[in-house]
Copies of this chain bind each other. A is one copy, B any other.
């Protein structure tokens, strides 16, 4: 369609999107209409002249992707999809109601939303993932991502910028809605477009500065982005916050403020009504895309993965077994990919890079974009394993939070857990990672103690719906399981038990071996304990924990290479909370320091010696009444 025919139609669509945003937020009594108005022309042109997608099949694997990184413009997103025919326009007025999936910020409850946004600087990272995915499946689908100007202050945006240019993602087009006004004050550079351009160009992007309300310029920019090879494009659109309504245009104080009933609303709608123009033809959506053939075979079951090949007693670090495990997965399933943040030699993801270099994505020292990109890859159907030191995963804690909200299938592996890493000291020790991941609904948390269970759990994790966190350790530990042992997410293993156990010790990872040493010491001294490997930290096997506690005098001792709050002790306490079982928590209770691993386990109260002392202390009490 020629521009003369196209533009009036697009202008009218933009006007409708503005009206819809204002109406919906008015009905809801909250929301960000002015943030929607600034981007309406950009979104109109994108949806109705640029992107290839099927509104009846938003998850189409080959359709272009649109990620609204400035998630507070959700009403605009919803209006665009309604305009495209994905659902009835009348639903727009249910915005933010408890019974509506049109929430205040977009979530993947909606089929056209890949990842939840609303925490700024995240959608652009997920866009890296969807763009990488296009390359992975040899598709020419493009990813478009709308970010806010204020959002550009977030460091994660610049992690994404580096990742995209290092990977030469010319299938990625960013658009910055430079409306100059933040939430509480004007943004850093307001309408100094050169400040944006110089930054994006410095980071290797092709930058195009345009008037964000000039539809010709917008269409030219999208075309120029499409024609640009070897680097991503950032369209810097100079816009007016509240565009279309005279008394909101460019005025401070309108962020997150719906229009009020009466004169305010009526006047705004009247002004917008006047902005409709005669349009010679109606706009059809760009060409339909063909559904590819269905995936030929069903995804491999965990059983298809090559089994562990260790011998009992082999000394293998679980972090190394992780590396082996993801390679085995990669061998049976081409949709398994891996991501690193310059620690692949420590996490052993380097094994995957060696085997499948095209499916390995290096982010350099940038954990936020690593997790964000994993979210985008997972949303598009890949199975991404993203790994780093567990303590550095806290750098991406807000992404972990949004991943839980999105319930997207990222598989995170954190190595170098706890004080058992030794001399590097506390900055490299993860002591709060179990708490971080247990806090969120939807995240399965696995903590294997040996190489066999590591391989088995990694395979289970791959096909578990939703996010998974796998915690691995630095030191070598002995293999204690055999190829016949079965593991389940939500399971546990009883390693030692007898009818005379005076307490149950629940451990995981390195503390399993401390517990087994304690078992031996106590046995030599004439008393017995039950020992449980809680390799599934979330969910836990509540029934089995309760049964064990009841069978051992109502006494459970938890011991974890982790701080005291939010981890294994918390999980076990919750599991037995409706019984009389008492839980005694052993954990690291102060900031640790450098030292040898064995010294540190002892100094910080979680070694075998301390377990023995704890058993003696709790067994000395009268048993709680059994039921």
Residues of A within 8 A of B (CB): 28-31, 71, 96-98, 100, 103-105, 107, 109, 116-121, 150-151, 153-159, 162, 166, 182-185, 187-188, 198-199, 201-203, 340, 342-346, 350, 362-366, 368-369, 391-392, 394-395, 397-398, 400-402, 404-405, 407, 422-428, 431-432, 435-436, 438-442, 538, 563-567, 569-571, 573-574, 577-580, 582-585, 589-591, 593-596, 599-600, 603, 624-625
- Let me know if A595 and B97 touch, CB within 8 A: yes
- Which chain B residues border A156 with CB–CB below 8 Å? 155
Residue of B nearest to A401 (CB): B394
How many Å lie between the Cα of A103 and that of B600 in the bound state?
13
Contact flag A438-B345 (CB < 8 Å), given A155-B158, A594-B100 = no
Query: In the assembly, what is the distance between CA of A398 and CA of B400, in Å?
Result: 13
Given contacts A155-B155, A343-B184, A439-B565, are A427 and B584 in contact (CB under 8 A)?
A: no
Nearest-Cβ distance from residue A276 to partner chain B, whole angstroms: 30
The 3 residue pairs across chains A and B that have the minimum distance between CB atoms: A155-B155, A118-B427, A566-B566
A121 to B625, CA, bound (A): 54
Instruction: Given the known inter-chain contacts A104-B428, A394-B397, please indicate yes or no for A150 contacting B183, CB distance below 8 A.
Output: no
The residue in chain B whose Cβ has the minimal distance to the Cβ of A584 is B577
Do A595 and B159 form a contact, CB below 8 Å, given A343-B184, A563-B439, A582-B580?
Answer: no
Most chain B beta-carbon contacts within 10 A, residue among A31, A119, A538: A119
Which residue of the partner chain B has the closest CB to A362? B185
Residues of B within 8 Å of A116, CB to CB, are 426-427
Residue of B342, B363, B398 touching A183 (CB-CB under 8 A)? B342
Is B423's CB under 8 angstroms from A29's CB?
yes
**A159-B153, A184-B342, A595-B97 are known contacts. Are A438 and B119 too (CB-CB below 8 A)?**
no
Q: Residues of B contacting A624 with CB < 8 Å?
A: 580
Chain B CB count within 10 A is highest, among A182, A342, A578, for: A342
A565 and B435 contacting across the interface, CB-CB below 8 Å: yes
A147 to B350, CA, bound (A): 26
Pick from B182, B201, B350, B362: contact of A342, CB below 8 A.
Answer: B182
Q: Write 30 A-B pairs (CB below 8 A) sorted by A numbering.
A: A30-B424, A96-B595, A104-B427, A116-B426, A119-B395, A150-B364, A153-B363, A153-B366, A154-B365, A154-B395, A155-B368, A183-B342, A184-B350, A392-B398, A394-B397, A394-B401, A395-B397, A402-B427, A404-B591, A405-B426, A405-B427, A407-B591, A431-B439, A435-B435, A435-B438, A538-B565, A573-B583, A577-B584, A578-B584, A580-B582
A619 to chain B minimum Cβ distance, whole angstroms, is 14
Give bound CA distance, A285 to B506, whole Å. Answer: 56
Task: Determine if A439 and B432 form an interchain contact, defined as CB atoms under 8 angstroms apart.
Answer: yes
Residues of B within 8 A of A400 (CB): 394
Contact check, A365 vs B182: say whether CB atoms are below 8 A apart.
Answer: yes
Bound-state CA distance A420–B435 (Å) is 23
Give the shortest distance, in Å, between A435 (CB) and chain B (any CB).
4
| Nearest residue, chain B, Cβ from A590 | B441
Question: CA of A427 to CA of B119 in the docked complex: distance in angstroms?
Answer: 6
Knowing A157-B155, A435-B566, the reply to whether A119 touches B391 (Cβ < 8 A) is yes
Are A425 and B96 within 8 A (Cβ)?
Answer: yes
Q: Is there an interface contact between A425 and B104, defined as CB atoms closer than 8 Å?
A: yes
Q: In the complex the two chains form, what is the Cα distance from A442 to B590 in whole Å?
A: 8
Q: Is the CB of B166 within 8 A of A159?
A: no
Tell me whether A184 and B344 are in contact in the complex, defined as CB-CB below 8 angstroms, given that A573-B574, A574-B573 are known contacts.
Answer: yes
Q: Which residues of the other chain, B, contact A582 by a CB distance below 8 angstroms?
A: 577-580
In the complex, chain B residues whose CB is within 8 Å of the CB of A109: 593
Cα distance, A427 to B98, chains bound together (Å): 15
Q: Are B577 and A432 in contact (CB under 8 A)?
A: no
| Nearest CB in chain B: distance from A520 CB, A | 25
Minimum CB–CB distance from A506 to chain B (whole Å) comes to: 14
A567 to B438 CA separation, bound complex (whole angstroms):
11
Which residues in B have their C-beta under 8 angstroms from that of A187?
Answer: 364
How distant is the Cα of A509 from the Cα of B595 in the complex, in angstroms?
41
Contacts of A159 in B (CB 8 A): 153-155
Let me know if A162 and B184 touch, CB within 8 A: no
Pairwise interchain contact A104-B424, C-beta atoms closer than 8 A: yes
Decide: B594 and A365 in contact? CB cutoff 8 A: no
* CB proximity of A379 to chain B, nearest CB, Å: 16
Query: What residues of B have a CB within 8 angstroms of the CB of A426 in the complex?
Result: 103, 105, 107, 116, 118, 405
Of residues A365, A404, A441, which shows the largest number of chain B Cβ atoms within 10 Å of its Cβ? A365
CA of A268 to CA of B95, assembled, Å: 69
- Whether the Cβ atoms of B436 and A105 lie closer than 8 Å is no
Task: Decide yes or no: A432 and B427 within 8 Å by CB, A159-B153, A570-B570 being known contacts.
Answer: no
**Residues of chain B within 8 A of A563, CB atoms compared:** 439-441
Q: Provide the residues of chain B in CB contact with A198, threshold 8 Å.
A: 201-202
> How far is the CB of A611 from the nearest CB of chain B, in Å?
17
The distance from the CB of A188 to the nearest CB of chain B, in whole angstroms, is: 5
